[in-house]
Amino acid sequence: MKKILLLLVAFAGVVFASDGAVANETLKGYSVLAAGVGLGLAALGGAIGMGSTAAATIAGTARNPGLGGKLMTTMFIALAMIEAQVIYALVIALIALYANPFLG
């Protein structure tokens, strides 16, 4: 409930802005904040995923050293896919900062 109230208060600046320029600048500020938080969360999720992938690969190699090469190849493919998700978040953050569709 507190989060909803915080969001309503945060967007009150945009809603009650008396001038279009003020609303535009406020929206730019919120876009920067959203891009930073979104990219941070994406990087955090990617780091957790990469850590889990590396730990599972190390554990698998320790159990069966003969499969180390196959596990390493699979791990690198998984790491590339995880990193791609973080890069997608970066692209969306850059779009929100520089080509914001909400700014008129």
Q: What percent of the chain has pLDDT over 70?
A: 82
Q: What are phi and psi of 6, to 5 degrees?
A: -65, -40
What's the CA gap between 21 and 46, in Å, rounded? 37
What is the mean predicted confidence (pLDDT) over 80-102? 87
Q: Could you tell me the domains of the chain? A: 26-98 (1.20.20.10)
What is the mean predicted confidence (pLDDT) over 79-90? 93
Q: pTM value?
A: 0.70
Cβ atoms within 10 Å, residue 35:
20
Length of the chain: 104
Cβ atoms within 10 Å, residue 46:
18
